[in-house]
């Protein structure tokens, strides 16, 4: 059975390491530990978890509640708060992010594991109910105010960020959209696209080769891969040695 992947966002590393050990004892997979909300958001782009354990007090400019607000706008990932902040104002702020659970420190391992399992089960059930009925193998791109063009996901090679714009590149055309790459990608409903650089999201099914940090796509395109995203990409492809 595939392990449930958990991201830990906790600014006290000793607590985070203890959490990691507890979870791994019970066959959960900890994808990463981060102490700031900013790093957690970047991590999710690289390695999507099934669940997130979120402390409210974090390093960086974002606290746990602000980080969760950004997560819930972009993804359908259940968040469980782990915090010693139990004042009414903090709890009320947390409630507005609709967490899967809120556990006050110190907590029992049994309560933590039960919260994780219930959050995962409920999320799977909700996702199956909300599965979209619209076409899932293609998108429609607005080419002007009066027209849209259909593009299959399988025809898309990559997305490229160009300042406030996003280019959707196929073998035959390059479509420039007046939204940023993050906003365009959030509307995709295909699991076959992965971020490999701050400026590139690629279709892993269209990779024809990798040379160092260059990824070949289709017959004539190459994009740059950042070392930060390399492991996530390698984990998505099957390499025979």
pLDDT tens for 192-239 read 899 999 999 999 999 999 999 999 998 899 999 998 888 888 878 877
Question: Using the 8-state DSSP alphabet, how is residue 213 labeled?
Answer: T
Contact by Cβ (8 Å): 48, 75: yes
> Which parts of the chain register pLDDT below 50?
1, 133
CA–chain centroid gap for 190, Å, is: 13
Tokens of 196: 């490999």
Architecture of domain 5-129: 3-Layer(aba) Sandwich (3.40)
Cβ atoms within 10 Å of 178's Cβ, excluding its own: 10
Give the pLDDT confidence score for residue 217 in this predicted structure: 95
Q: Where are the alpha helices (DSSP H) in 12-169?
A: 13-25, 37-46, 64-74, 88-95, 109-129
Residue 58: what pLDDT?
93
Coil vs helix vs strand at 81: strand
Q: Which listed CATH number (3.40.50.300, 3.10.20.30, 3.40.50.720, 2.40.50.1020) goes with 138-234?
A: 2.40.50.1020
Residue 120, pLDDT score: 85
pLDDT score recorded for residue 207: 95
Show Cβ contacts of residue 193 under 8 Å, excluding neighbours closer than 6 positions.
153, 156, 159, 185, 201, 202, 203, 204
- Which string of DSSP letters, residue by residue, matches 122-141? HHHHHHHHT---S-SSEEEE
pTM reported for the whole predicted model:
0.56
Three-class SS of residue 29? strand
Domain ranges (residues) in the chain:
5-129, 138-234
pLDDT at 133: 47
């Amino acid at each position: 059975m595939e392990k449930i992947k958990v991201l830990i966002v906790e600014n006290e590393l000793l607590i985070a390491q203890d959490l990691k050990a507890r979870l791994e004892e019970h066959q959960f997979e900890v994808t990463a530990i981060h102490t700031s909300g900013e790093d957690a958001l970047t991590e999710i782009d690289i390695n999507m978890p099934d669940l997130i354990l979120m402390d409210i007090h974090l390093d960086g400019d974002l606290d746990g509640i602000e980080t969760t607000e950004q997560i819930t706008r972009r993804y359908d990932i259940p968040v469980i708060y782990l915090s010693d902040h139990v004042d009414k104002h903090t709890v009320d702020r947390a409630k507005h992010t609709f967490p899967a659970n809120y556990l006050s420190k110190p907590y029992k391992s049994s309560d933590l594991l039960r919260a994780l399992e219930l959050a995962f089960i409920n999320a799977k059930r909700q996702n199956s109910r909300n599965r979209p009925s619209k076409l899932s193998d293609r998108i429609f791109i607005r080419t002007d105010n009066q027209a849209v063009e259909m593009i299959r996901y399988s025809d898309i090679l990559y997305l490229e960020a160009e300042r406030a714009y996003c280019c959707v590149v196929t073998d035959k055309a390059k479509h420039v959209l007046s939204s940023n790459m993050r906003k365009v990608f959030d509307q995709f409903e295909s699991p076959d696209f992965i971020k490999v650089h701050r400026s590139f999201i690629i279709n892993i099914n269209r990779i024809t080769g990798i040379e160092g940090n260059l990824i070949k796509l289709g017959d004539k395109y190459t994009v740059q891969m950042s070392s930060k995203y390399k492991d996530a990409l390698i984990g998505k492809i099957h390499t025979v040695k």
